[in-house]
Amino acid sequence: MYIRRILGPKSIRLPDGRAMTRADLPAAGTQRWVASRKAAVVHAVDAGLITTAEAMTTWGLSEEELDSWRDAVARHGVAALRATTLQRYRKCT
C-alpha cells in the first residue's frame, strides 16, 4: 500500500480558533463558488496549508481571481466574498 506524503502542515488554526485540514477544502473541480468555499481556499493559502499554484490547478482558478478573493478578505472580511455584496465593496476601492 502506498501512502501519499503531503508537503506542508497537516492542519492549521484559523483566526477564530478552529482547526482546518485539507479535508475541509472544497472538492476539486468545484463549479459553484459560495462565500464559504472561497474563504476556505483563501484561509488555506494564507496559512500555508496549500500553495497558490496548487489552489490554481486544483480548482481551475486564475491568479487574478485568487488574488481578488485574498484582497477582499484582507480589506473587508469574508462577507466581501458574497456575490451580492461584491459590487458594493468594489466601489469602495
> Does residue 93 surpass a pLDDT of 60?
no
Which CATH number does 32-92 carry? 1.10.10.10
pLDDT confidence of 87, banded at 50, 70, 90? Answer: low
Q: What is the pTM of this model?
A: 0.81
Query: In sequence order, which residues have a C-beta less than 8 Å from that of residue 82 and are 6 or more positions away?
Result: 35
d(CA 24, CA 85): 25
Q: Where are the domains of the chain?
A: 32-92
Q: Which of 14, 29, 26, 13 is nearest to 78 (CA)?
A: 14
pLDDT surpasses 60 at 60: yes
pLDDT in tens, 9-30: 788 888 788 899 999 999 998 9
Q: What is the mean pLDDT of residues 47-70?
A: 94
Using the predicted structure, report yes or no on whether residue 92 has a pLDDT greater than 60: no
